[in-house]
Amino acid sequence: MKLGPPRRFNEGTLSALMGCLALLGSQSLAGCLGHSGDQETAPESAAKSAPESAPESHFYFHQTPPQQVPEIFAPGEISLPDRGEFASVFSADGTEFIFGVSEGKSAEIRSARLIGETWAEPRTIVSHDRYSFMDAALSPDETKLYYISNQPLDGKGEPKDPDLWFSVRTEDGWGPPQNAGPVLNSDRTEYYVSFTDEGTLYFTSNRAAAEGQEINFDIHAASMVDGEFQKPVRLGDSVNSEGYDGDVFVAPDESYLIFSSGRTDGLGEGDLYISFRMANGEWTEAKNMGAEINTEAQDYCPFVTRDGRYFFFSSKRDIYWVDASILDTYR
């Protein structure tokens, strides 16, 4: 079993490297969500043009909703056979879909919007010719887009260890990348973000790993007080292990976590686990989600839609979705 970060595979040159960390370490990648350099932004007005009363059948790319067996999401439109897709999120109103794509020597974040009754063709939000950006997540009010990048703080020179960054939504798309700062970032690696309704930010970092044990990634949480993030706190051992734990999704009401981990009880190269918050604020012992969700491959990038109806995750270079009622079976 591979006890490491999930792999956002590209064929050929990146096939032997680990996930997004490998992609972020490659100077040849076209980036994804940088602001400097050549860029392409979708008009913000497109995101606002979908009527709130749009028929339910128009959402989710007109796909027939799944039951409690995972299905590939939007095959032929989003999930394509000649590339990898990962890290997908929907806006709260369901009219904007943001996801990661890796193909050839590039990895990027793309966005598609529901305009009237039609989903527009997915397009790259913005690109950069040297630094890489991926694993996007919307802030609770959706005015900021968080992601990870290996861009140096001054935007110049060699790529660095991945940090958390964000862009502010503007009338024309997304503003320039802004580093999330030293409270959230360290001299180690940080990545994959998820928010609670109250603004607490959950993410992954190996900041606490001993020298030579940098594969030991843990899940951390930073609360928001008066508009400022507080010092991140490592979650306890009921969630974190001595190996890799990451790609965390937290329910908006902070009632449960879903994350990817490489453990001895896993079914493949990395499985999805779930933990529920108890009345005393502690987390239940993380439970493997089993063969109903996990495969012999790496399963990662969990996300549950804002209405709580559908559970998305990535596996075998595709995005999958399943009825979120399956989560109740793990309680």
* Alpha helices by DSSP H, the chain: 19-24, 44-48
Q: How far apart are CA 249 and CA 222, in angstroms?
A: 14
CA distances from 130 to 14, 30, 145, 146, 212 (A): 16, 6, 20, 19, 28
CA distances from 302 to 37, 107, 189 (A): 31, 19, 20
Lowest mean pLDDT among 22-31, 167-176, 211-220, 292-301: 22-31
Q: pLDDT digits over 217-270, tens only? A: 999 999 999 999 999 999 999 999 999 999 999 999 999 999 999 998 899 889
Q: How far apart are CA 296 and CA 316, in angstroms?
A: 9
Evaluate the CA torsion angle 302, 307, 48, 229 in order and state its sign: negative
Contact 44, 172 (CB under 8 A): yes
Closest CA to 31 of 143, 165, 141, 140: 165
The tokens for 191 are 């990545």
Residue 148 belongs to what H/E stretch? strand 144-149
- What are the phi and psi torsion angles at 142 (to 5°)? 60, 20
The tokens for 308 are 């709580």
- The pLDDT value recorded for residue 53 is 53
pLDDT exceeds cutoff 80 at 40: no
How high is the mean pLDDT of the chain? 84
Work out the widest C-alpha separation in the chain, in whole angstroms: 55
**pTM as predicted:** 0.86
Which residues does 48 contact at the CB level (< 8 Å), separation at least 6?
none
Domain ranges for the chain, please list them: 12-330
With b for 16 or more beta-carbon neighbours within 10 A and e for fewer, the 286-297 pattern comes to bebbeeebbbeb
Q: How far apart are CA 121 and CA 196, in angstroms?
A: 30
Closest CA to 320 of 66, 30, 51, 5: 66
Mean pLDDT of 309-326: 97
Q: pLDDT digits over 77-113, tens only? A: 999 998 899 999 999 999 999 999 887 656 788 999 9
The tokens for 249 are 């999704």
3 state DSSP class of 168: strand
- The pLDDT value recorded for residue 55 is 67
DSSP secondary structure letters along 208-242: TPPTT-TT--EEEEE-EETTEEPPPEE--TTT--S
- The pLDDT value recorded for residue 42 is 38
CA distances from 183 to 170, 176, 179, 235, 318 (A): 25, 20, 11, 17, 34
- The pLDDT value recorded for residue 20 is 46
Kind of pairing between the strands at 218-222 and 228-229: unpaired
Q: pLDDT digits over 194-223, tens only? A: 999 999 999 999 998 998 888 899 999 999
The tokens for 253 are 């009401």
DSSP secondary structure letters along 73-108: SSBTTTB-TTSEEEEEEE-TTS-EEEEEEEETTEEE
Compute the radius of gyration of the chain from its Cα atoms: 18
What class does CATH assign to 12-330? Answer: mainly beta
